[in-house]
Structure 1
Amino acid sequence: MLVFVTTVILYVFGFVFLYGVIRLGVRHGIEDVETHRVNQVRAEELAAHQDRTFARENAFLTGS
């Protein structure tokens, strides 16, 4: 009987531990995605700014 109770307790704690590990992994994954999204927006803004600067400095290439 003691072995059965011990097995059940370890089984339940194992699932609780596994749930915590999965939850932690998902949270870190979501944080990484949000960080990547912010960096992507910054990169797009920088590229647009560089394009405008290039067009201003080299107006003869734009045909204006």
Structure 2
Amino acid sequence: MAPPNFEHVVKTIASDTNTSTETVSKMYADTWAEYSDGARILDYLTVLVTKRVRENLRGVSRDLH
């Protein structure tokens, strides 16, 4: 199942973090699959996945400096 507003969310994260859309798309899809596996309630999954991807990208950026 594809997350709602997938493309919009990926473009926004990519723009905000100065990361390629391909990288963000892969991270988002992987995180979505991990979080949605076995989940019965998906109402807030987009928010949780978006937050995790942003945090992961911030950590990568911090590690490079």
User: The TM-score by the shorter chain falls in which range?
Assistant: 0.3 to 0.5
The structure with higher relative contact order (CA 8 Å, sep 6+) is 2
Q: TM-score, normalised by structure 1?
A: 0.36
Judging by fraction of residues, say which structure has more helix.
Answer: 1
